[in-house]
Structure 1
Amino acid sequence: MTSFSLLNILKHSSLNKLISPGRVLGGRPVLTISQQRRSSSSIKPNHKVLYDGNCPICVKEVNLLQRANNGSVKFVDITKGRYNPADHQGIQYEDAMGALHVISPDKKLFVGMDGTRELYRALGLGWMVSFTELPGVKSVADNAYRWFALNRYWLTGRLGESKEEEDCDSGRCKIPNNGQRKR
C-alpha cells in the first residue's frame, strides 16, 4: 500500500520546482537547510524574536524554524529567567506576551503576523511571506493570528495551570506574569 505524505506530494509537484534550491523567492535565494548551516559560521544574529516559551504551539514552531536558522535569528524565550524590557527595546513583558515581537537589525519592530512575516523573511522563507500577503489571505492570516494570540492558552489546555492563568473572561485569556509588576 502506498502512503502519501506531504513530503511525497512536494517531491512530485510543481510546487517543488517553485521552491527548489537555487530559485529566488521573496527577494531571497532558496537554500537547503544544509546550505544555510554551511553559510552560518560568519553570520551574527541580526533579528531578535521574543516568544512565549509557555505556549506549546509557539515552542513547536520555534523549534521547527530553528532548523532553517543559519544563525541570523536569535530566539528569546521571554518566560525564562527575569525579563528586562531594557534588553529588548523597552518592550514590556505584558506586551511581549500578547504577540510575537521581532526586532530587525535596523531596530524596527514587527508585531503579530507582521512579526511572523519578518521572521520568515529573515530565515529565507520568502515564499511563505508571499502566500500570507496574497489578497484575501492577508486579512485572514492577520485575523487568525490575533485570535490565536489571544486564545493560545485556552487552545493548548494551559488555562488554570497556575493562579495567574485561571481567568479567561470576555474572550481574552490572562497571560502569565512571570513575576513582573502589573501596569
Structure 2
Amino acid sequence: MIIFYDGYCPLCHAEMRHLRKRDKHNKLTLVDIQSPSFAQTYPHLDWHALNARIHGQLPDGRIITGLDVTHQAWKAVGMGWVYAPLRWPGVKVIADWCYIKFAKHRYTISYLLTGKKRQCARCIPGEPNEK
C-alpha cells in the first residue's frame, strides 16, 4: 500500500514514523507529497486533493482517502483493530466528519497538541528519508 501524506504536518509525520517502525514486512510505501520530486514521480495525482486529506493506493490500484487509509495502513502492520471501530456503521459517519475537520485544521491542531509548527520533514535532524 502506498500512503500519500503531508510531511509538513507534525502529527502526520509522527504517525508515519510510528507506522514505519511497525512495518516489519515492508507492506507500506510512505510518500511525502511535500517532497520536491513528488510531482515528477506522481504527475497523474492531484496534489491539492492529496493535500486536503490523506490518500492511499491499494495494491490493486484503487485510491482510498481519510480514515480508510489510516485503518488500512495500521491493518497492514498488524494493528488494524485499533482503528477498526472508526469504520463501524454509525461511528464511521461521525469519525469521517471529525477527520475532515482535523485535516482542514491539522497544522493548528498539531501545534496545540505537540507544540511543533508546520515544518518540512526533510528538515528534521535525524529523520530518515521515507521509503
TM normalised by structure 1 equals 0.55
Q: For the residues of structure 1 that align with 2:86 and 2:43, how far apart are their CA atoms?
A: 27
CA distance in structure 2 between the partners assigned to 1:151 and 1:108 by the alignment: 27
RMSD across aligned positions (CA) = 2.1
Q: 1:39: which partner in 2?
A: none
Q: Give the 3 Å change call, closer, same or farther, for CA 88–120 of structure 1 in structure 2.
A: farther
CA contact (8 A) 1:131 1:137 kept: yes
Shift of residue 128 of structure 1?
2.4
| 3-state DSSP of counterpart to 2:105 | helix
Q: CA deviation at 1:152?
A: 0.7
Match of 2:126 in 1: none
Count residues in correspondence: 113
In structure 2, list runs of 5 or more residues that go unmatched.
112-116, 120-131
Q: 1:103 to 1:88 in 2, by over 3 A?
A: farther
Q: Which runs of 4+ in 1 moved over 6 A?
A: none
Q: Return the match for 1:79 from 13, 20, 34.
A: 34
* Aligned-residue identity in percent: 28
Larger RCO (alpha carbons 8 Å, 6+ apart): 2
Residue 104 (structure 1) aligned to one of 46, 50, 58: 58
Q: Which of 42, 57, 78 is the matching residue for 1:124?
A: 78
Aligned letter for 1:54? Answer: Y
User: C-alpha separation between the residues in 1 aligned to 2:84 and 2:3?
Assistant: 20
1:156 deviates by 2.9
Which runs of no fewer than 5 residues in structure 1 stay unpaired? 1-46, 162-183
Task: Write 1 or 2 for the structure with the bigger share of helix.
Answer: 2
